[in-house]
Amino acid sequence: MTKDFAGRTSRAAKPKKHVQKRKPAAPARVFFHGPSFTTGALVGAAIVILAAYAPDYLSENSKAGATSVTTAADQAGPTQPMQFDFPDMLRDTEVLADPEPYAVPSTSSSDQPDVWHIQAASFREKADADALRARLLLDNLPATTEVSSANGSQWHRVVLGPFARRVDANRAMTRLREQGISGMCYPCTGLQHTLLSDKDTPSAGVAGQRNAALIDTYEGYFMELFHGTTIVSVRDATHVAMGGDGQVSIGDTVMKGNAVKVRKLYQGKVMAGFAGSTADAFTLFEKFEGTLEKYGGQLTRSAVELAKEWRTDRALRRLEAMLIVADQTATLLISGTGDVIEPEAGVLAIGSGGAYARAAATALAENTDIPAAEVVAKALKIAGDICIYTNHQHTIETLAL
When mean pLDDT is compared over 132-146, 164-178, 213-227, 366-380, the highest value belongs to 366-380
Name the strand (E) or helix (H) holding 218. helix 212-219
Q: What is the mean pLDDT of residues 167-184?
A: 84
- Do residues 129 and 123 touch, judged by C-beta distance below 8 A? yes
- The per-residue pLDDT for range 332-388, each reduced to its tens digit, is 999 877 788 888 889 999 988 889 999 999 999 999 999 999 999 999 999 999 988
pLDDT-derived band of residue 125, with 50, 70 and 90 as boundaries?
confident
The yes-or-no verdict on residue 303 having pLDDT over 70 is yes
Q: Is 229 a catalytic residue?
A: yes
- What is each CA distance from 113 to 191, 216, 281, in whole angstroms? 10, 17, 27
Q: Are strands 239-245 and 248-250 parallel, antiparallel or unpaired?
A: unpaired
Confidence of residue 121 (pLDDT cuts 50, 70, 90): confident
The DSSP code for 348 is: E
Asked whether the predicted pLDDT for residue 209 surpasses 70, the reply is no
From the list 9, 229, 300, 398, the catalytic residue is 229
The DSSP code sequence of 122-136 is: EESSHHHHHHHHHHH
Residue 228 has pLDDT above 80, yes or no: no
Domains of the chain from N-terminus onward: 113-189 (3.30.70.1070), 226-400 (3.60.20.10)
| Nearest one of 244, 251, 276, 256 to 381, comparing CA atoms | 244
Predicted confidence (pLDDT) at residue 237 exceeds the cutoff of 80: yes
On the question of pLDDT at 235 being above 70, the answer is yes
Highest mean pLDDT among 50-64, 124-138, 197-211: 124-138
CB 353 within 8 A of CB 383: yes
Alpha helices in 77-156 (DSSP H): 86-92, 126-138
Q: Give first-to-last CA distance, the chain, whole Å.
A: 138
Residue 251: pLDDT band (50, 70, 90) is low
The enclosing H or E element of 311 equals helix 299-312
CA atoms within 13 A on the CB side of 202: 0
How far is it, in rounded angstroms, from Cα 250 to Cα 255?
6
302: pLDDT strictly greater than 50: yes
